[in-house]
Amino acid sequence: MAEIVRMPKLSDTMTEGVVAAWHKKVGDEVESGELLAEIETDKATMDFESFQDGILLHIGVETGATAPVDSILCVLGEKGEDIKRILADAKKNVIIKDKESVPAPSVAPAPVATLATVAPVTPPTPPLVTNTRVIASPLAKKLADKLGLSLDRIPGSGEGGRVVKRDVENFKMAGATGMPVMTQEKFTEVGVSQMRKTIARRLAESKFTAPHFYLSISIDMSNAMQARKAINDQGLYKVSFNDMVVKATAVALRKHPAVNSSWLEDRIRYNEHVNIGVAVAVEDGLLVPVVRFADGKSFATIGEEVRDFAGRAKAKTLEPTDWEGSTFTISNLGMFGIENFTAIINPPDACILAIGGISNVPVVKNDEVVPGHVMKVTLSCDHRVVDGATGAAFLQEFKNLLENPVLMLV
């Protein structure tokens, strides 16, 4: 008996499809699992396999034509079968919506196609074996035979464990690379921790409330590297580049208080004290403990505090007073090999400074190209508080301090 094959819904957002190519013509015999057509969706062009045996009696959508989901794609039936009535009945059960023909609710939708380019939603099951015969689509059999593969070794991901074309391709790829190839969608979901919820809420509010703009600058770190080596060679204490960055930031903020500020809706607060929040990565997210009055502290004192904060942050023993009261924030990803990035402002601060790693690059000195050590930094500013020229002046001061670290000792 003749059956109508309808335009399948091959993606969640698909409303219509284009027949890119027909692999059969009217009068051809079609077997279940055989490639019938290629259909172009809103996301990709996909193979469409037949779900029944029969003769292709009618093509409802010509090559290159567009048709809504559930419209008549073709008709399969017995040779010489009269299909005028089934087509007429199908057309009667069509309603018009937004000038497009779509099937009425009473018409049963066509089954979802097996797609050669889309991974199955359900986990694959071992191939069905009936009288030692593996159930497989004709395309899978043809490809397996061409590649010299035994179908009984290939897990099937089709309906009832049927081996389809993609299973053969994935099996071949796994053998070529020596690595397993995913043949199904897989994911893990975990509950959102309170820390992650707070981070998401605060940063979303910051990003979508504060009008961010970004200023980047490159800093020659050659002198800073020499100064750090000289200090550490004394053996009294160890100074990191991050300690120098925190100190340089604090000193620069004293000279540019407009950057050391906060937006309070009906007023702007210009802080006279300098409290630097230092972002610390922990298992559940990010904490920002605060180095208070950082402009008046030495490299060594800053380093001791930051290391103590990092240890207690990872041990989850920080107290609220440890992360409250920042006036400016630093986020340093240089130790992870990140050259430059932009950070989201940590409210209520007006700015955050993103620190990249020190790169060995050629630089020009005295009109000559010589080896250099350059660090890129990016300042994210809340434009409600800080203007471009203000942020640029702060960055120039910050750059000058790191390129001449002796100035931080005065």
- Distance set, CA 152 to CA 129, 139, 161, 182, 310 (Å): 8, 15, 11, 19, 55
Q: What pairs with residue 348 in β-bridges?
A: none
What is the C-alpha to C-alpha distance for residues 209 and 350, in angstroms, rounded to an integer? 12
Choice among 23, 273, 373, 383 that is catalytic: 383
| DSSP secondary structure of 355-385 | EEEEEEEEEEETTEEEEEEEEEEEEEEETTT
What is the C-alpha to C-alpha distance for residues 225 and 41, in angstroms, rounded to an integer? 57
What is the C-alpha to C-alpha distance for residues 322 and 315, in angstroms, rounded to an integer? 14
Which tokens hold the place of 376? 């890129």
Interior/surface letters 129-165, b for 16+ CB within 10 angstroms, e for the rest:
eeeeebbbbebbbebbeeeebebeebbbbbbebbbbb
383 is catalytic: yes
Which residue, 330, 201, 200, 357, is CA-closest to 259?
330
Task: Decide: 329 and 259 in contact? Cβ < 8 Å.
Answer: no
What is the C-alpha to C-alpha distance for residues 389 and 139, in angstroms, rounded to an integer? 66
Inter-axis angle of helices 299-314 and 241-255, nearest 10 = 110
Task: Decide: 149 and 172 in contact? Cβ < 8 Å.
Answer: yes
Task: Decide: 269 and 262 in contact? Cβ < 8 Å.
Answer: yes
Residue 6: CB atoms within 10 A of its CB come to 21
Inter-axis angle of helices 165-177 and 138-147, nearest 10 = 30
CA distance from start to end of the chain: 95
Amino acid code (one letter) for 68: P
3-state secondary structure of 351: strand
Q: Tell me, what DSSP letter sits at residue 295?
A: G
| Active site positions, annotated | 383
